[in-house]
């Protein structure tokens, strides 16, 4: 099932939940004989729902970020607020005199509930995609996915080395660190845009990249050499590598290797001479 379909189902469930809560509140308000008591109890119920969801999700939020409690609060507001809004509408409908007033109150109640429901649904789904990213980070990869990323990641790095080597031959130096993934002299030499993305953290088309360029050697002159392989200590000098920095154009001094390693406990490092090494970070 696609993410879009899942979000659609969740949105439908939220809509149903809020509408049902409002309907329950309406029934309570319509049958009430004590307006103040009904409003007080409805408000207390709504507050209890919000607090229960907030407190119940705090342990998860401590591990995976405040977005968890944010979503819980929105959901609690939808359910608790739906009951309160429904109770108000029920009380107003009960006290309306005359058929026309009752019909008018009913229409206003429906509009208010629909607007409130749409707002809650929008607020919840707006950040739900962030939760999807969190899940992708914390969920263990399947054996097939992990194997595929382990096999294709070195290929991506080798493609980047070819582009860097051609660039160095054209410009007699390595490219500057700033904006290296946007450097058209590099981009034009990389076979596929997906090669800029580590397959363990990206689908190849999103804004997650996962590779960093060693800024300590950025811009280094090729001198009299005709290939990066001929540079001093090329076999031991990192060029591009797996990085915890998932942003585009990431650079550092070879300090961001994921721990534990991203691919079955190891990280891949592309060296200046073009070979890809499997490194187990300490």
Pair (185, 104) in one structural domain = no
Answer yes or no: is pLDDT of 68 > 90. no
Pair (246, 125) in one structural domain = no
The number of folded domains in the chain is 2
What pLDDT is recorded for position 247? 94
pLDDT in tens, 97-118: 888 888 888 888 889 989 999 9
Domain finish residue from 110, 138, 166:
138
Answer yes or no: is pLDDT of 125 > 90. no
Tokens of 31: 């049958």
> What burial letters (b/e) apply to 186-214, b meaning 16+ CB within 10 Å?
beebbeeebbbbbbbbbeeeeebbbbbbb
Q: How far is residue 258's CA from residue 92's CA, in Å, rounded to a whole number?
A: 60
Q: How far is residue 51's CA from residue 270's CA, in Å, rounded to a whole number?
A: 50
Domain finish residue from 117, 138, 159:
138
Over residues 192-197, the mean pLDDT reads: 94
Pair (163, 81) in one structural domain = no
Contacts of 155 (CB under 8 A, 6+ apart): 195
What pLDDT is recorded for position 243? 95
Over residues 60-89, the mean pLDDT reads: 84
What pLDDT is recorded for position 115? 92
Pair (153, 268) in one structural domain = yes
Mean pLDDT of the residues in the chain: 86
Q: How far is residue 190's CA from residue 216's CA, in Å, rounded to a whole number?
A: 22
Domain finish residue from 86, 103, 138:
138
- For residue 282, how many C-alpha atoms fall within 13 Å in the half-sphere facing its CB? 0
Q: State CA 226 to chain mean position distance.
A: 43
pLDDT in tens, 203-232: 888 899 999 999 999 999 988 888 999 999
Assign residue 172 a region: left if phi > 0, alpha if psi is -120 to 50, beta otherwise?
left
What pLDDT is recorded for position 244? 94
Range list of β-strands (E), the chain: 211-214, 238-242, 250-252, 267-271, 276-279
What pLDDT is recorded for position 123? 83
Pair (79, 128) in one structural domain = yes
Pair (134, 159) in one structural domain = no
Pair (84, 197) in one structural domain = no
What pLDDT is recorded for position 62? 74
Parent domain of 67: 3-138
Assign residue 212 a region: left if phi > 0, alpha if psi is -120 to 50, beta otherwise?
beta
Pair (85, 149) in one structural domain = no
Q: How far is residue 89's CA from residue 37's CA, in Å, rounded to a whole number?
A: 15
More confident residue, 180 or 128: 180
Pair (150, 221) in one structural domain = yes
Predicted TM-score (pTM) of this structure: 0.51
């Amino acid at each position: 099932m696609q993410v879009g379909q899942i979000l659609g189902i969740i949105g439908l469930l939220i809509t149903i939940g809020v509408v049902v809560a409002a309907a329950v509140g309406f029934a309570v308000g319509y049958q009430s004989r004590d307006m103040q008591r009904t409003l007080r109890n409805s408000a207390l119920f709504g507050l209890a729902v919000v607090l229960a969801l907030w407190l119940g999700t705090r342990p998860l939020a401590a591990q995976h970020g405040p977005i968890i409690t944010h979503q819980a609060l929105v959901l609690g507001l939808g359910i608790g607020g739906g009951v309160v809004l429904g109770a108000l509408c029920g009380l107003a409908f009960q006290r309306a005199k005359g058929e026309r007033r009752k019909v008018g109150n009913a229409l206003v109640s429906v509009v208010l509930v629909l607007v409130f429901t749409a707002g809650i649904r929008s607020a919840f789904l707006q950040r739900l995609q962030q939760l999807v990213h969190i899940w992708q980070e914390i969920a263990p990869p399947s054996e097939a996915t992990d194997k595929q990323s382990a096999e294709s990641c070195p290929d991506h790095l080798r493609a980047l080395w070819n582009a860097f080597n051609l660039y160095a031959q054209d410009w007699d130096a390595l490219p500057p660190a700033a904006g290296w993934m946007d450097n058209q002299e590099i981009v034009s030499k990389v076979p596929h845009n997906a090669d800029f993305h580590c397959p363990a953290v990206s689908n190849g088309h999103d804004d997650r990249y996962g590779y960093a360029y060693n800024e300590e050697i950025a811009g280094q002159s090729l001198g009299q050499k005709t290939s990066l392989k001929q540079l001093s200590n090329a076999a031991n000098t990192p060029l591009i590598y797996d990085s915890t920095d998932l942003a585009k154009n990431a650079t550092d001094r070879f300090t961001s290797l994921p721990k534990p390693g991203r691919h079955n406990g190891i990280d891949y490092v592309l060296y200046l001479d073009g070979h890809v090494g499997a490194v187990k970070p300490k």
